[in-house]
Chains A and B, each alone.
Chain A
Amino acid sequence: MLINAVIIILREVLEASLILGVLLALSQHNQISKSWSLKALLLGGLAAVMYAANLAMISALHEGVGQEIVNAVLYVFIFTLILAIVYCLRDKQYLKLAAAAMFGCVVLAVLREGSEIIVYIHGFSTIPDLFTPVLVGSSIGAGIGLSIGVFVYYLIVSLPFIYGVISGFFVLVFIAGGMVSQAIQMLLQADLISSELPIWDTSQLVSEQSIVGQILFAMMGYEATPILLQVVLYTASILLTGFFAIGSIKRTQQGNLL
């Protein structure tokens, strides 16, 4: 149970802390005030508590797949906001918009991952024998996830401006792909997309349930048994975000040269 708690909480915390760490580092490089982050964390935390408290009602919607639909929508919103951030960071006149998109992105990420954590831990609060191992495992998972977020932030911040922006965008491109992949997964669970046979199975190589699998899942939406639609949309989202990122990097370089 302890190892399950570690894996589940690590996946949730790592995803949110990576998004927060990268966006904070990009704010630092682009001289955007980081005051949005605290507000986003507080608002996201509050929203997560409310979402978790009403999860039973949300789950019952749309013939019992309300939660999956809401989660898919949240993932699509986060993907859209990441696209907006990557685009807005190309020009100084859009920096306020970029800060607003960062705020929205972190609020949604904390809402989504925070609610999962609350629901998971709360589920064990009535089983005293399991509650302590779950709490210990959750602390370990959260600790590892937050530590990786801190390292990613300081690593990107320590790089020279242009390399920092490139690295930040690189991580964001894969996070964006991961969001789309997870949205598809949610729609599959809700049976809104017809299930097909997976086009490959890499679970023997890297199991989704392993710590490495969970880190890859958080960083780039790793799926051991994806279906064709998932692979196509994942690739398309990465190419789209990558295209925006390259455009922004070129504009930034030109701006620096000028």
Chain B
Amino acid sequence: MKSIRIYLLLALLATITLVSFLSVLQGYRSSTQKVDELFDQRLKNLANIIVHANHDTKPRQERMINTKPSVFFQIWSDNNVLLARSGNAPSTLAVDLQDTEQFHDINFNQYRWRTFVLKDNSLNRWVITAERIDLRYSLADTIVSAAIKPTVLAIPIAAIIIWFAIGFGLRPLKQLARQLNNKRADDLTPVVLKDTPEELSQLVTTTNDLLSRLNDAFIREQQFAADAAHELRTPISALKVQMHNLKQQANVQDAELTPLVDGIERMGHVVEQILSLYRNSPDQASKTFQAVNLYTLAQKILAEQYTQFEGKNQCVSLIGDKSCGVEGDEFALKTLLLNLINNAAKYSPDKSEIQVTVEQNKRHVCLMVEDSGPGVPKEDYERVLERFYRVDGDQHGSGEIGCGLGLAIVKHIVTVHDAKIILSQSELLGGLCVRVEFKGA
């Protein structure tokens, strides 16, 4: 069912039409029967009037009476002599004179006629009166049609009234749909309807229960993220301090501690990335959207990460439109840029080149991070965006610490901002080129 309103309109209208028209037809049949009886009665009365008004017992041709062409009469003697007739009546017997007070249908003068035969016992005469049947029906049709016409004309009017009545009846449902449709992703407040009808009260109650449970789940999630951040970061920081102290002790070799240090670094990295993924859930991010200058943000991150590039003697450049901005969550965009730039730095060799471009065309604001590193095989472009996927797994050739979450987080942030991410080989530097296209300016 595409539309409840159209279904109800058609079903109701079809029911009303069918029921009322069938009743009308039944009414028509009864009416025509009644009209027939009335016309027959009239024919009978006419014969009786003739019997009482005319006392001819001998034929008188000059007594032809002009009647309406739809009616004629004949007066016959008992021995079948025509005593009088109307001008339009046949000169022969219209019907056999057998029984008195009988109706017959005959053909005469290209028409069908209804006749009535009456025996005048006092003068031993027969009176025949007749009326054209087609004119009878026509008159009956006109009378009954006039009665039926309002019913037929009422159907389109009923259709209009039903259409608006259904619209009015469905108003609470529309109101509910509109409220749910207009709800922001982070708006989990209950739905409130004015005068909730009985049929919708269960739906509204269930929807509000669901919204309430969803709200509780979000609060728990936020609570978890906050607790986890505190509970996980603190022991890792303590471990790092203990490691530093251990290194200071003379009898411990640096080489023996390296796997432990790497392990703690890796754990810290995974925790930070997972927390970042939680913080950037679509429902939570949209409410913090604001104008963010991508160029300035990239400049800031490159400055913060400068020591990383310096350590590997990498050449980093930032080009593009300094006023390029997007509507977004600043923290999420910072995470996105940080992950892309860190990836480029981590997986590109010493003395490699990294270029960050921020530019704007007619339709998009584009952010591009290119490097001169080994790049990613074309067949892995889709998979590197999946969670916990790393090219070559843990045996990654760079030997860098990673958990396969960086690009997954980038993709997640891209989705939150309704943007698009495209991976390709950099035409300029030969390594990986990650292009993020944000809608509009």
Contact = CB atoms under 8 A, between A and B. Distances in A.
A223 B115 CA distance: 35
Contacts of A3: 25, 28-29, 32
Nearest to A148: B18
Interface stretch (A51-59, A138-146, A162-170): A138-146
Contacts of A147: 13-15, 17-18, 21
Interface in B8-23: 10-11, 13-15, 17-18, 21-22
Interface stretch (A83-91, A105-113, A129-137, A242-250): A129-137
A1 B140 CA distance: 10
Nearest to B1: A157
Contact of B145 (A132, A148, A151, A211): A132
Contact of B17 (A6, A133, A144, A154): A144
Contacts of A150: 10-11, 13-14
B138 A129 contact: yes
B141 A140 contact: no
B219 interface: no
B160 to A, nearest CB: 16
Interface residues of B, number: 26
Nearest to B135: A129
Contact of A143 (B21, B29, B137): B21
B138 A1 contact: yes
Contacts of B66: none
Interface string A78-99: 0000000000000000000000
A154 B11 contact: yes
Given A147-B14, A147-B17, A154-B11, A140 B142 contact: no
A147 to B, nearest CB: 4
Chain B interface SS verdict (over half)? helix
B18 A2 contact: no
Contacts, number: 65
B138 A130 contact: yes
Nearest to B18: A147
A48 to B, nearest CB: 22
A133 B137 CA distance: 11
A148 B138 CA distance: 29
Contact of A144 (B1, B18, B144): B18
A258 to B, nearest CB: 28
A130 B18 CA distance: 24
A133 to B, nearest CB: 4
Contacts of B13: 147, 150
Given A143-B155, A144-B21, A154-B7, A133 B14 contact: no
Interface string A203-226: 000000001000000000000000
Given A143-B17, A211-B25, A136 B148 contact: yes
A6 B18 CA distance: 13
A243 B24 CA distance: 42
A136 B15 CA distance: 19
B241 interface: no
A130 B15 CA distance: 29
Nearest to B15: A147
A147 B13 CA distance: 8
A140 B14 CA distance: 12
B149 interface: yes
A144 B18 CA distance: 5
Contacts of A1: 137-138, 141
Contacts of A154: 7, 10-11
Given A130-B138, A150-B14, A143 B145 contact: no
B152 interface: yes
Interface string B105-140: 000000000000000000000000000000001100
Interface string A226-240: 000000000000000
A146 B14 contact: yes
A129 B142 contact: yes
A6 B26 CA distance: 12
Contacts of A148: 18
A89 to B, nearest CB: 21
A1 B135 CA distance: 11
A151 B14 CA distance: 7
A120 B256 CA distance: 105
A143 B15 CA distance: 10
A143 B25 CA distance: 12
A117 B141 CA distance: 20
B152 A140 contact: yes
Given A144-B17, A144-B18, A146-B17, A2 B141 contact: yes
A157 B2 CA distance: 12
A132 B149 contact: yes
Contacts of B148: 2, 136, 140
A130 B24 CA distance: 18
A84 to B, nearest CB: 26
B61 to A, nearest CB: 35
A154 B14 CA distance: 11
A144 B141 contact: no
Interface centre among A1, A130, A147 (most CB of B within 10 A): A147
Contacts of A137: 145
Contact of A136 (B14, B32, B152): B152
A2 B137 CA distance: 10
Nearest to B20: A143
Nearest to A153: B10
Given A133-B142, A146-B14, A150-B14, A139 B152 contact: yes
A137 B24 CA distance: 10
Interface string B14-57: 11011001101100110010000000000000000000000000
22 contacts: A1-B137, A1-B138, A1-B141, A2-B28, A2-B141, A3-B25, A129-B142, A130-B141, A132-B142, A133-B144, A133-B145, A136-B148, A136-B149, A139-B152, A140-B25, A140-B148, A143-B18, A147-B17, A150-B10, A150-B11, A154-B7, A211-B25
Given A129-B142, A133-B142, A133-B144, 12 more contacts: A1-B141, A3-B25, A3-B29, A6-B25, A129-B138, A130-B141, A132-B142, A133-B145, A144-B17, A146-B14, A150-B10, A211-B25
